[in-house]
Structure 1
């Protein structure tokens, strides 16, 4: 069993913009985070990125933090891109299933133009919500399978 923790939870009202850290989020089954632009009945309901990945970009001199890569949940202690599609994990009260590792960026984001690279397409993961609940910073993350 692998364990980690939630560093931050973030939302945005519109797609294509950085997300803002909030105190907690409500995750709804087969929907995603209530109030987030990316929620809906599709396979990328919630996005996760590790703080370790963000620190790589900080080491390049970028002033970035949780939510700046448009991730909903910033994690610590779990190698997210190593999780196979179909893996299930509990995050706070929610049960999530990995549906996609990384993504193709059709347009280069501001981070890419600043650094010449971006970690979200290679190291971010996407999940669908199997069971909803509240998720907040410092909540435990447990990989079940």
Structure 2
């Protein structure tokens, strides 16, 4: 029993480590198999702009995922514009676009439109794939 305290300390440290490890967010798990962690470091000139309808829960979840992806990759997040705001119409006209759906994501590189998507469900996969393709060119 002389070294029993050592056993207790080792078990305690292991428990603390495993507890901390479990609480760490698994970012790639949130994005499936499509993370694009090196895209922004290769091509830092990308910007993502989101146009969303005001009362759309699915759109809000997609915006949160886009923000998290932008934080992870370093892609610039140009903001979310909502239907009821004058800024939204102004930004759409600057880009030369019309919004015919509840959700629209636009990827810009140096101010030029690279691609756009209207599916809130698969937007993170779309963003990751598009930026990967563009950075490989």
Structure (1 or 2) with the larger CA radius of gyration: 2
More helix by share: 2
TM-score normalised to structure 2 length: 0.28
TM-score normalised to structure 1 length: 0.27
Q: Which has the higher contact order (CA 8 A, sep 6+)?
A: 1
